[in-house]
Amino acid sequence: MVFINHLLNRDRSQRAEKLLQEFIDRHWSEDLVELYGRLEMEDVTRQLKAAEFWLQSHPQDSVLLLTLARLSPAATNCGARPAATSKRASVWHRQLPPIVNWVC
């Protein structure tokens, strides 16, 4: 995590995103999933696809659901298929506790 923060402090967010994705794929960590969802990328489509992939293995993970809820509106703003993205976001929001929906 220290190295990821080092990269982020040096405007190397693409490298940080790739490393985070690889690490999460191998060693599930809610802390890293949350950090992954907070990365500020120009095109979040890749992030959204990775989070959707993780959802297959962790369908009830509240941190992952929150990450998906955060990424969905950003993906829509980046030109991702708006209808599909909005539909997925609404499904994820229904799975989250009400207070989490408010925080998003």
68-87 pLDDT, tens digit each: 888 887 555 545 544 444 44
Domains in the chain, number: 1
Measured CA to CA, the distance from residue 44 to residue 26 in angstroms comes to 21
What's CA 22's distance to the chain center, in Å?
14
What amino acid is encoded at 10 in this protein?
R
Query: What tokens were used for 69?
Result: 């809820």
The number of angstroms, rounded, from the C-alpha of 5 to the middle of its chain's C-alpha atoms is 17
Rounded distance between C-alpha atoms, residue 65 and residue 44, angstroms: 16
- Amino acid identity for residue 74 in this structure: A
**38-71: pLDDT as tens digits:** 888 888 888 999 999 999 999 889 899 889 888 8
Does the predicted model carry a pTM greater than 0.85?
no
pLDDT at 30: 94
For residue 8, the enclosing domain spans 2-103
